[in-house]
Amino acid sequence: MQPATLDRTTTIRQDFPILQRVLPNGSPLIYLDNAASSQKPGGVIRAMDDYYRRYNANVHRGVHTLSEEATAAFEATREKVARFINAPSARNIVYTSGTTASINLVAYSWGRANLGPGDEVLITEMEHHANIVPWQIVQEQLGFTLRYVPVTDHGTLDLERLPELLTERTKLFSFVHASNVVGTINPVRELVAAARAVGAKVLVDGAQSVPHMPVDVQALDADFYAFSSHKMCGPTGFGILYGKREVLEPMPPFMGGGDMIREVTMAGSKWNTVPFKFEAGTPAIAEAIGLGAAIDYLEQAGMAWVHDHERAITRYAYERLAEVEELHILGPGPDERGGLVSFTLEGVHPHDISAILDRSGVAVRAGHHCAQPLHDRLGVHASARASFYLYNTPEEVDVLVDALHQAQDVFAL
């Protein structure tokens, strides 16, 4: 890796208080579970602390100083998110509690208004459960057919099958931008163009892409784009649904309550404008402010740099993991994927791998990573996953590899 890149990582690491932590067994923390949730820089922690200490109040209602300050900071994040993903306006940005809630919003609101018997929703075998289960739930009520684009042995979408699966019956094509298991980065623009050709709307699950690479929603041209704050240096319990205005405007509300209405009488109610129509109740105010600080941080680091850095670490991880005998990496080669590597080690269950790595301070995730159909397709029950972010270093990959050798020694006995 370039020395300049590594110097920058050294500086970045100092911004994350948790990375200074030494675990109870004396090992320094080596955090390689970023696809599950990233760590938070001091700026994000301070922004949330400052809100609670200085201007905690509800938003959009009080005409007092605290409420006005809270509303200004809360709404400033909408502008920052719009700029970060190049949305046309802050009005395209709906606040949710995360990717899961964003996809459920589309399934319940857009789905109930647009899907019925004879219609099809196309997803893929590569999806996180968050982009499978909501469709299965509303499918029971609405009677449409759910179809899946298959995955190749290589861990990429089998696009040769697309013409037979994406047809005039397809009303929505919903797929992941970057896989949380095999790391594959899907060709979003090409898939959107194919959906447009049959008149289908497109939802992209950006949970693993927005945190890790520059994303321009206008260039990608999807109708909806969903992501979570907590995977991009921000707090948990908060996320975004981007939507095109012409798609969001006619959608009925999903949840009813305060803030999402213009007028309520005993005879009925009128809805607030988009995006507020979809934001019933008191929102996650500190979390919105925290995400604003996270975006400031990522913009300062530069998303192109974050992406390059992760690619370099992933390439290095590939080289080093190749030294571990009987280790099999799921998915495509390092140049076709995002910054994570899922693998199996013959004779060692992924949960045992994770437990042994933990002794060396290395945090990885083990299991099916909420993508059971994909594991079934690849013929494995579970895998271990190392996922990288802007603060990870090649030395941390070295510790991972040493610890994997130790795991093999333990299980060879």
Query: In the bound complex, what is the minimum distance in angstroms from residue 207's beta carbon to ligand 7TS?
Result: 3
- 368 interacts with ligand 7TS by CB under 6 A: no
Chain residues 228-257 in contact with ligand 7TS, contact rule CB under 6 A: 228
DSSP 322-365: TTSTTEEE-SS-GGGB-SEEEEEETTB-HHHHHHHHHHTTEE-E
Neighbouring CB atoms inside 10 A of 351's CB total 12
- 147 interacts with ligand 7TS by CB under 6 A: no
Alpha-carbon distance 373 to 369, whole Å? 11
Chain residues 154-183 in contact with ligand 7TS, contact rule CB under 6 A: 176, 180
- 354 interacts with ligand 7TS by CB under 6 A: no
CA end-to-end span of the chain, whole Å? 37
> Which of 35, 59, 194, 248 is the binder for ligand 7TS (CB under 6 A)?
35
The residue to which tokens 């305060």 are assigned: 258
> Which of 30, 70, 106, 130 is the binder for ligand 7TS (CB under 6 A)?
130
Q: Which of the ranges 9-17, 325-333, 341-349, 365-373 carries the binding residues for ligand 7TS, by CB under 6 A? A: 365-373
Query: In the bound complex, what is the minimum distance in angstroms from residue 136's beta carbon to ligand 7TS?
Result: 15
Q: Which is nearer to ligand 7TS, 57 or 363 (CB)?
A: 363
Q: Which of the ranges 65-73, 98-106, 314-322, 349-357 carries the binding residues for ligand 7TS, by CB under 6 A? A: 98-106
Alpha-carbon distance 296 to 44, whole Å? 9
Q: Which of the ranges 63-71, 93-101, 309-317, 372-380 carries the binding residues for ligand 7TS, by CB under 6 A? A: 93-101
The CA-based dihedral angle spanning residues 111, 112, 113, 117, taken in that order and rounded to the nearest 10 degrees = 90
Bridge partners (DSSP) listed for residue 170:
120
Alpha helices in 85-132 (DSSP H): 99-105, 111-114
- 99 interacts with ligand 7TS by CB under 6 A: yes
> Which of 128, 309, 368, 375 is the binder for ligand 7TS (CB under 6 A)?
128
Q: Coil, helix or strand for 79? A: helix
The β-bridge relationship of strands 340-345 and 327-329 is: antiparallel
- 338 interacts with ligand 7TS by CB under 6 A: no
The closest of 379, 384, 376, 381 to 400, measured between CA atoms, is 384
Total residues binding ligand 7TS (CB under 6 A): 16
Structure tokens at 66: 């605290």
Catalytic residue among 30, 370, 397, 401: 370
**Residues interacting with ligand 7TS, by CB under 6 A?**
35-36, 98-100, 128, 130, 176, 180, 205, 207-208, 228, 365, 369-370
